[in-house]
């Protein structure tokens, strides 16, 4: 289904990398007990992944022809 929007396999790997890095960074940066850090880190990782998907799909779909 995502191939219909121009989302490639390589983009899926990049999505996992972005989500993992954001989760790790937020888990380290947030000042709270460990359980709250993990939950907040996972939520921020999911939000980052969603923004990544939306941005990638929009760029692939509406990019100029000369790219």
Q: Decide if 15 is inside a domain.
A: no
What sign does the CA torsion over 47, 53, 58, 59 have?
A: positive
Q: Decide if 42 is inside a domain.
A: yes
Mean pLDDT of all residues in the chain?
Answer: 87
Name the residue range of residue 37's domain.
32-59
C-alpha distances out from residue 16 to 3, 32, 62, 63, Å: 17, 25, 23, 23
Q: Decide if 21 is inside a domain.
A: no
Q: Decide if 23 is inside a domain.
A: no
Q: Decide if 44 is inside a domain.
A: yes
Confidence grade of residue 67 (pLDDT, cut at 50, 70, 90): low
Q: Decide if 18 is inside a domain.
A: no
Residue 45 has pLDDT above 70, yes or no: yes
Q: How many domains does the chain have?
A: 1
Q: Decide if 47 is inside a domain.
A: yes
Q: Decide if 50 is inside a domain.
A: yes
Question: What average pLDDT does this structure show over 14-36?
Answer: 92
Confidence grade of residue 46 (pLDDT, cut at 50, 70, 90): very high
């Amino acid at each position: 289904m995502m191939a219909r929007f121009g989302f490639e396999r390589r983009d899926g790997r990049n999505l996992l990398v972005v989500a993992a890095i954001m989760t790790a960074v937020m888990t380290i940066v947030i000042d709270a007990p460990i359980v709250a850090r993990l939950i907040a880190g996972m939520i921020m990782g999911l939000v980052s992944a969603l923004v990544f998907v939306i941005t990638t799909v929009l760029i692939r779909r509406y990019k100029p022809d000369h790219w």
